[in-house]
């Protein structure tokens, strides 16, 4: 069939037809992802949760009791309960602090307008109407409400995420048997198993190191915030933890957002400088020195790819999609890089063309 098509269309025509076919497939996939977001978002979160459980299970397995390690089922159960408990703790922190931020938002709004008026007065220029209208229309209470609504929707899907997570864990036990059935040829089966192990190892390495570094970053940032008595320090530390999963852009927002709150909360500049400098130093040391050494491989995503991914997944899945976009892209790049036929796509998505095969 392929030879007949090549004869009728020519090699160039056949390649054009294949490219058009892939464009149609991609377009239909995006439509399906957008239409099925209520199903896909919990599934992706559950998949990430399963990887975190597997990583924690491995760490728990290293513990020794009377010189013996915990049985694998006990380590898995402890890891599962720990991730569930931590998730509910994080959601409770978000819910409690989001309500309090909404209460204080009008005061922050007034303070922000006063600061920008004083700034233009100090430099001796009349405030341009366009800037005045832009800052005056920046609705802090409305922004908090939108974020809280998205988080409430995510919490509403917690049960579905839990169900998906349980079944993914149960299904993972049968993957070796399925691989054996799909690839009866031993050489091919060994090759496929090797590729899948590399993919699984790289994803676990990424999430394990990224989670540990993000947690340390959040704890140290919380210490800096508490040292200057910043409002809602726990909430902002949690936000630092989440934003740290977004390369380049995440660390900027993790510094700017608490810095803006400090700017409207305090009358003097000293606490603001302490906060911004402290969080910046923490981000630079952990993100540029500690994390690459622990991970062994750098993420190496193109900044343009990160921005496009943010816009694309934000358009498809809203605020939740913006938080999930980089983990999804990372998994995609790792999978593509480990298959020779799709390695070129991973190269295009990388920053400098260096990927690990």
The burial of 20, by beta-carbon neighbours within 10 Å (0-12 exposed, 13-18 middle, 19 or more buried), is given as exposed
Q: Report the alpha-carbon distance of residue 178 to residue 288 in Å, rounded.
A: 40
Q: What is the pLDDT of residue 322?
A: 76
Residue 20 has pLDDT above 90, yes or no: no
Q: Report the alpha-carbon distance of residue 253 to residue 241 in Å, rounded.
A: 11
Q: Report the alpha-carbon distance of residue 273 to residue 285 in Å, rounded.
A: 18
Q: Where are the domains of the chain?
A: 1-35, 299-357
First to last CA, the chain: 33
Q: What is the pLDDT of residue 216?
A: 92
Tokens of 332: 């995609």
Q: What is the pLDDT of residues 139-191, one digit of tens each?
A: 555 555 555 556 556 666 777 888 888 888 888 878 888 888 888 888 888 87
Q: What is the pLDDT of residue 248?
A: 66
Confidence of residue 357 (pLDDT cuts 50, 70, 90): low
Closest CA to 108 of 273, 276, 257, 252: 257
Phi, psi dihedrals of residue 68, rounded to the nearest 5°: -125, 145
Q: What is the pLDDT of residue 117?
A: 64
Q: Average pLDDT for residues 82-104, to the nearest whole number?
A: 74
Residue 232 has pLDDT above 90, yes or no: no
- Helices 303-337, 249-265: crossing angle, 10 deg rounding: 140
What 3-state DSSP class applies to 65?
strand
Q: What is the pLDDT of residues 43-78, one digit of tens each?
A: 888 888 888 888 888 888 777 776 677 777 788 888
The burial of 245, by beta-carbon neighbours within 10 Å (0-12 exposed, 13-18 middle, 19 or more buried), is given as buried
Contact (Cβ atoms closer than 8 angstroms) between residue 295 and residue 205: yes
Q: Average pLDDT for residues 204-224, to the nearest whole number?
A: 87
Q: What is the pLDDT of residue 299?
A: 58
Which single residue is written with the structure tokens 């100090």? 122
Q: Report the alpha-carbon distance of residue 276 to residue 257 in Å, rounded.
A: 10
Is the whole-model pTM more than 0.75? Answer: no
Q: Report the alpha-carbon distance of residue 213 to residue 216 in Å, rounded.
A: 5
Q: Report the alpha-carbon distance of residue 300 to residue 202 in Å, rounded.
A: 14
Per-residue b or e along 88-99, where b marks 16 or more CB atoms closer than 10 Å to that residue's CB: eeebeebeebbe
Closest CA to 317 of 45, 51, 92: 45
Tokens of 198: 């590399």
How big is the chain by its Cα radius of gyration, in Å? 24
Q: What is the pLDDT of residue 71?
A: 79
Residue 131 has pLDDT above 50, yes or no: no
Contact (Cβ atoms closer than 8 angstroms) between residue 334 and residue 200: no
Contact (Cβ atoms closer than 8 angstroms) between residue 347 and residue 353: yes
Confidence of residue 295 (pLDDT cuts 50, 70, 90): low
Q: Average pLDDT for residues 292-302, to the nearest whole number?
A: 65
Residue 134 has pLDDT above 50, yes or no: no
> Could you tell me which residues are beta bridge partners of residue 301?
350
């Amino acid at each position: 069939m392929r030879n007949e098509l090549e004869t009728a269309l020519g090699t160039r025509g056949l390649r054009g037809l294949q490219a058009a076919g892939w464009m149609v497939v991609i377009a239909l996939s995006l439509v399906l992802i957008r239409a099925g977001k209520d199903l896909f978002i919990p599934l992706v979160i559950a998949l990430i949760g399963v990887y975190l459980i597997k990583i924690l299970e491995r760490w728990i397995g290293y513990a020794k009791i009377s010189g013996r390690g915990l049985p694998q089922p006990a380590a898995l159960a402890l890891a599962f309960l720990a991730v569930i408990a931590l998730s509910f703790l994080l959601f409770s922190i978000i819910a409690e602090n989001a309500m309090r931020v909404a209460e204080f938002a009008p005061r922050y709004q007034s303070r922000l307008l006063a600061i920008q008026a004083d700034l233009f007065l100090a430099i001796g220029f009349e405030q341009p109407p366009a800037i005045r209208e832009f800052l005056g229309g920046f609705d802090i209470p409305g922004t908090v409400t939108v974020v809280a609504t998205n988080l409430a929707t995510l919490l509403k899907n917690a049960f579905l995420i839990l169900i998906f997570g349980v079944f993914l864990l149960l299904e993972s036990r049968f993957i070796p048997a399925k691989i054996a059935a799909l690839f009866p040829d031993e050489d091919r089966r060994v090759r496929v198993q090797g590729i899948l192990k590399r993919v699984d190892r790289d994803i676990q390495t990424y999430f394990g190191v990224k989670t540990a570094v993000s947690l340390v970053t959040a704890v140290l940032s919380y210490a800096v915030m508490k040292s200057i008595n910043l409002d809602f320090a726990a909430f902002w530390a949690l936000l630092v933890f989440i934003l740290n999963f977004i390369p380049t852009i995440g660390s900027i927002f993790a510094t700017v957002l608490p810095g803006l709150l400090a700017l409207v909360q305090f009358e003097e500049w000293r606490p603001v400088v302490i906060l911004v400098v402290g969080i910046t130093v923490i981000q630079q040391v952990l993100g540029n020195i500690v994390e690459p050494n622990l991970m062994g491989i750098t993420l190496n995503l193109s900044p343009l790819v990160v921005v496009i991914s943010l816009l694309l997944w934000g358009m498809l899945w809203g605020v939740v999609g913006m938080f999930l976009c980089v983990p999804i892209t990372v998994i995609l790049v790792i999978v593509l890089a480990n298959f020779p036929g799709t390695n070129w796509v991973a190269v295009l998505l990388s920053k400098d063309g260096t990927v690990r095969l």
